[in-house]
Structures are given as structure tokens and as C-alpha cells.
Amino acid sequence: MRCVAPASRLARGARARARDGWRESGVVLRRRARAGASTPYVDLAAALTATQRAQMLAYARAIERENRGEHGMLTGAASAEAVLESHCGDALALLETLDRVVGGADARVRVMDVGSGAGFPGIPLAIARPGWRFTLLDALRKRTTFLEAATRELGLSNVSVVWGRAEDVGKDLEHREGYDVVTARAVAELKVLAEFCVPLARVGGHWVAAKNATAVEEMADAANAVTLLGGGQMVIETVDAVGPDGRPRAAVVCKKIAPTPDKYPRRAGMAKKRPLA
């Protein structure tokens, strides 16, 4: 296990272009996150094209509209600005780690985002990496309906949406061991998340879980489960984002080194009820 210093190459040079913040279509984006926000979104988004930033803003506004709709909240963010600074920034902070594990931004990559919810980190990553193919998986129909509508609105031809439980999709030969990278954010503890994610990664691929930098204890608890599922040693890397508690965000990275045994994942609900030990 190793801990890597905060990722900064993505934002280097971008900071020089974002000294005083941007105003995009009426939304003011500050160079540094204010108290309680989770990431310096402007620094990270400065590496995107103007078209990609416009897509990101349109996505944030779609979430803002949905949060005010009759079906209830998708996220706790009350405004498009909060969506960008908190959630989109956290997603973009994973890019340096993802680029490294797949061999660069121009690689041909299939990514599965497990428990995508409102589309994090999948949709911001799909905007930033249009050459990669993304599958967004969620068990709640309300969320997948939103994801389908949002990807159409944003014109994201590199995204598909799947409604289902990770345990069931992990048994489906169309998806099982079919992805170069499997991502997840704020879904469950690592010992539970492993059974959702590792079966979907191809041998030689990677599972990348967005966590806080305090996830080392979770990693110890999940080590045996990861081994049973075919995963290798987990590594924690801090990324260029900070949580509401002031602690750095992190990516837990695990390379798949062996096929997942046929008996995993177990039937729906078992991973949470009886985590692998």
C-alpha cells in the first residue's frame, strides 16, 4: 500500500488561466472553493475546452432543475454552482489517476460507473474524455430516467445507461469482466463495493473507488474480499480535491489480476447483509 502526493499535473498551467474565477452564463465560479465546498472546480475545468465547460454547466443546471422537480432531490446541491464545485470537481479530480491506469487520455477505454446516481463521476468524466465509452449503472429507475434524458440533452454519444443492480449486472455476460475501468463514488464501504465492482472489471483492468483519504482502514477490512474476487493490492492516491470536512479526497485503485470466481457476485442484497470477510 502506498500513498501518493496530491495530483496536480492536470491543474498545472490551468491555475494561471483562472486567477480570479469565471462567469459562465450567469454562474460565477470561484478559483478556490469557498468554505464547505469540496473542490477547486475552476482549476480542474480550465483544462477542458469551452464546449466541454458549456456541457458541464448544462449538466449542472439539469440537476438543479431535477432537484426542484416533483420527483425529489438527486443531490444535496442547491444550485448549479454547488453542483459544479462539489460534484463535478470531485469527478474531474479523478482524471489524472484514470489517465495513468489506462495509458493516457487518448486510449480506447470502456468504463462502468457503478451506482451512478445523478451521474457522478460518470457524466463529468464522459464530457472530459469523449473518446472513452461509459456505461452508467443504477438500481433506481428515477435516476436512470434522468441519466438517459441528461445524456440526450448534452449530446453524449459515448454514454449508455443501464437500469439494474450491480449484483445482477455482474452476472450478465454482456458486462461481466468487460470493462477497463470500473468506478464508484459514495456507494458503500470498500468491502461491500468490491463485490459490486471487481466482477465487472476485465483481468488487467482496474477498479477505482472515489473515497476520502481516511479510507485506509476500509482498505484493510476489504483486503480479503478483494483477493477472493480476483483483485490485486489496493493503493490509495490523494487527488486534487478536498471534502467538506477539509480532508483530501482520494482514489482507491485496484488492478484485477485474476478472473472472478463464478459464484461472485452473490445474489442481490448479500454483499451488504454479509460482506465478504
Which cell numbers in the block locate residue 21? Answer: 474565477
Residue 6 lies in a domain: no
Residue 66 lies in a domain: yes
Domain count, the chain: 1
Q: Are 219 and 231 in contact (CB under 8 A)?
A: no
pLDDT tens, residue by residue, 157-211: 999 999 999 999 999 999 999 999 999 997 799 999 999 999 999 999 999 999 9
pLDDT of residue 206: 98
Residue 75 lies in a domain: yes
pLDDT of residue 73: 76
Taking the mean position of all CA atoms in its chain, how far away is CA 22?
Answer: 25
18-37 in b/e form (b: 16+ CB < 10 A) is: beeebebeebebbeebeeeb
Between these two residues, 71 and 111, which has the higher pLDDT value? 111
Matching residue, cell 470537481 = 89
pLDDT of residue 1: 39
pLDDT tens, residue by residue, 111-141: 999 999 999 999 999 999 999 999 999 999 9
Residue 3 lies in a domain: no
Dist. CA 105–CA 118, nearest whole Å: 24
Dist. CA 10–CA 190, nearest whole Å: 27
Residue 94 lies in a domain: yes
Between these two residues, 8 and 3, which has the higher pLDDT value? 3
C-alpha distances in angstroms, 158 versus 112, 130, 131? Answer: 12, 6, 7
Q: Are 210 and 94 in contact (CB under 8 A)?
A: yes
Which domain, by its residues, includes 45? 39-273
- How sure is the predictor about 247, in pLDDT bands with cuts at 50, 70 and 90? confident
Residue 106, pLDDT > 80, answer yes
The CATH number of whichever domain residue 73 belongs to comes to: 3.40.50.150
Dist. CA 145–CA 217, nearest whole Å: 36
DSSP letters along 199-219, please? GGEEEEEEEEEEEETTTHHHH
End-to-end Cα separation, the chain, in angstroms: 19
